[in-house]
Homo-oligomer: A and B are copies of this chain.
Amino acid sequence: MKKIINNPNDVVKDMLKGMELAHKELKYTPELEVISKNEKCEKVGLVSGGGSGHEPAHAGYVGYGMLDAAVCGNVFASPSPDRILKGIEEADTGKGVLLIVKNYSGDIMNFEMAKDLCELDEDMIDMVIVRDDVAMEDSDFSTGRRGISGTVFVHKIAGAMSQRGGSLVEVKRIAQKTIDNVRSMGMSMSSCIIPAVGKAGFEIEENEIEVGMGIHGEAGIYKKPLMSAKELAKELVEKITDDLDYTNSDVALMINGLGATPLMELYIMSKEVIELLESKNIHPYKVLVGNFMTALEMAGCSVSILKLDDELKGLLDDKCNTPAMKN
């Protein structure tokens, strides 16, 4: 295992301390592994989180116009309810708190528990669940579709609505609208190593890719021989466009690297995906290319497509200022 780390058991706390030192507008609560904002303004608080290893998700999206707190579990492990309670406390300014949770059974259980345990009135705390991964209807770790890179669009758009002063009801409505209109699909070309485990979670042949791979190294839907970027774009995009009718729509497109894929390859993938979408009369209005939700040093990518209307476009274009996304 070749990593830039100290003790493999300390990777999450060392990383979060590094984030706090690098970004003075962020505050790190040690032991509870929460990243929040140093300066608060009165607004609906947005909390997300989950296992670590998906950086910049979610701590990199804490800041103006996106999240108020990110709760970090150990690598690929759900954060415990006490950590989530601390996240809620940090995000609460009296206007209500929305939890944005990716659909994994452990996360749902722990976020639900924290929601029930926290001291906020029932109408001051709510939750949405992101299920954007069209690869499979159920997985080993989720009932229903998994939440993956499309979650970042939910952070951006709900964050904008909250920053505009929307109520908890309004912010939840727009978060759910984003969830209803986003779909994602990924594939991987290599495994990744959880630091505390020290060896790769699975093997993959030199000429093989795993389509529909999850962001924790969980199995995909099938393996296929390595293919060209053009074929890969078709493989991923058509699973998405078969699931939701995007025809004649403007969309936000994310070409997301899983950690070890060079930006050169992500832009080649962008070319193929955009040309394919245009041929289907689907028009990218905004395109994000980079590492937005990763799986440690996994090579591969996911594609997320969000169907836009004027309301979503406006919120997508609103100013945001976080370590991992600025507008």
Contact = CB atoms under 8 A, between A and B. Distances in A.
Nearest to A209: B2
B14 A297 contact: no
Contact of A261 (B266, B297, B299): B297
A117 interface: no
A126 to B, nearest CB: 30
B5 A271 contact: no
Interface in A198-248: 206-207, 209, 226, 228-230, 232
Interface residues of A, number: 59
Contact of A15 (B14, B15, B60, B271): B271
A155 B262 CA distance: 21
A263 B299 contact: no
B289 A263 contact: no
Interface stretch (A19-27, A139-147, A305-313): A19-27
A274 B269 CA distance: 36
Contact of A6 (B14, B228, B289, B323): B228
Interface of A: 2-6, 11, 14-19, 21-23, 52-53, 55-56, 60, 189-190, 206-207, 209, 226, 228-230, 232, 255, 259-272, 274-275, 284, 287, 289, 291, 294, 296-297, 299, 301, 323, 326-327
